[in-house]
Amino acid sequence: MTRRFSLILSLLVLTLIGVGQSPRSVPADTGAPAAVLTSCRGSVTVTRAGGKATAATFGLSLSDGDEVRTGADAEAEIMFAAGNWVSVGPNSSMKIKERPGTKEPAKDSDNFEVVSNFLKLKSSEGTSSISGLRSGDKASALVPVAPVQTKVREANPTFTWRIDDPSLELRLTVYNESGVQWQSDIADASSLAYPTSAPALTPGVSYSWTLETSDPMVSPPLRTTAAFFEVIAPADVATLDEELASIDGEKSGDVTYHLMRASLFFNRGLVEDAIDETETALAADPGNTSLHAILGRLYAETGRTQEAMQEMEKSTK
């Protein structure tokens, strides 16, 4: 249970911890919150222990004695320091109970950094490359979709792309650090799995792949920029599966649960898996502007510029 809280709690202090810092424990006397709001939909208010009421927002820290109240057709998800999380339904309230002041840091508190780095994506820092683009820019006729600038779990990933004219004959080339690893000609398709008969992809090695038109009659020829990927080691896959399994016992909060999964994937460099989980979290909380910002940054990291701009626009509404 403590792993769950450590993951989500770290989401909400992203401005305090930067990417790449070493994990650290959070002592009880540092003013760490007793709980955090991981989702709030509809009219949700928080009355502080001193009596002051404030509108609830995603990521709001909660202290001992604070009370969360939901209006009609509203709900909230709260993650507690004890490790459990709960959903508060419409026309309900929940008071944050007092914690012992001598509580020892949790053994899993190094996971604090995992989700902290993930939620850092919601900040506006580093988004100039997205906002600087014009929404009217013409999309490319041939665009790699996956895997792009990410790590993958599968030893035989499936390459996917978007193309205006699927009938065009294409050549897909996978490069290793020395040159061409494998090549295949394709037509009438928008995806292709790396075959088991091809030279095996080695975990930890950086690969790239490109698509280009192979018909000399197509002028000008179309060619994508190189898209990079890396297969993670089997031991890392096993560890990740254990981490994912550890949060599967309790799924009472849809947004919280998928945020945790997204954070674990992002920590391993599995950006596309993090995208899938963030999209699922957004489906449960579509008005969450912070989640739109996070998704926009993830799209941008994988070269999906048009989608990134759309999400960034939603994050400011």
pLDDT, tens only, 253-302: 688 889 889 989 999 999 999 999 999 999 988 889 889 999 999 998 89
Domain boundary among 203, 231, 259: 231
Asked if residue 165 belongs to a domain, the reply is yes
Structure tokens at 128: 């100039």
Domain boundary among 183, 202, 231: 231
Residues 112 and 166 in one domain: no
Asked if residue 282 belongs to a domain, the reply is no
Q: Helix-strand-coil percent breakdown of the chain, rounded to 5?
A: 30, 25, 45
Asked if residue 55 belongs to a domain, the reply is yes
Helix (H, G, I), strand (E, B) or coil at 123: coil
Asked if residue 106 belongs to a domain, the reply is yes
What number of other Cβ atoms are within 10 A of residue 236's Cβ? 17
CA angle 276, 7, 153 (to 5 degrees): 40
> What's the CA gap between 139 and 222, in Å, rounded?
13
Residues 180 and 96 in one domain: no
Domain boundary among 231, 254, 272: 231
Residues 59 and 103 in one domain: yes
Residues 109 and 184 in one domain: no
**Nearest by Cα to 39 from 63, 54, 56, 15:** 56
Asked if residue 62 belongs to a domain, the reply is yes
Domain count along the chain: 2
Residues 36 and 89 in one domain: yes
The DSSP string of 44-110 is EEEE-TTS-EEE--TT-EE-TT-EEEE-TT-EEEEEETTS-EEEE-TT-EEEPPP--TTPPPPTTGG
Residue 225's CATH number: 2.60.40
Asked if residue 243 belongs to a domain, the reply is no
Residues 105 and 182 in one domain: no
Asked if residue 175 belongs to a domain, the reply is yes
Which DSSP category does 132 fall into? T
CA angle 296, 302, 304 (to 5 degrees): 60
Q: Name the pairing type of β-strands 150-152 and 227-231.
A: parallel
Query: What pLDDT is recorded for position 28?
Result: 38
Range in 115-129, 149-163, 288-302 with the lowest mean pLDDT: 115-129
Residues 12 and 109 in one domain: yes
Compute the average pLDDT of residues 94-117: 55
Label residue 156 by pLDDT band (50, 70, 90). very high
Residues 172 and 111 in one domain: no
End-to-end CA distance of the chain: 35
Query: Given the structure tokens 């002028």, which residue do they identify?
Result: 219
Whether the full predicted model's pTM is greater than 0.85, yes or no, is no
Range in 102-106, 120-124, 191-195, 237-241 with the lowest mean pLDDT: 102-106
Query: What pLDDT is recorded for position 62?
Result: 86
Asked if residue 71 belongs to a domain, the reply is yes
Residues 24 and 97 in one domain: yes
Residue-number span of the structural domain to which 68 is assigned: 2-122
Residues 12 and 115 in one domain: yes
> What's the CA gap between 130 and 162, in Å, rounded?
20
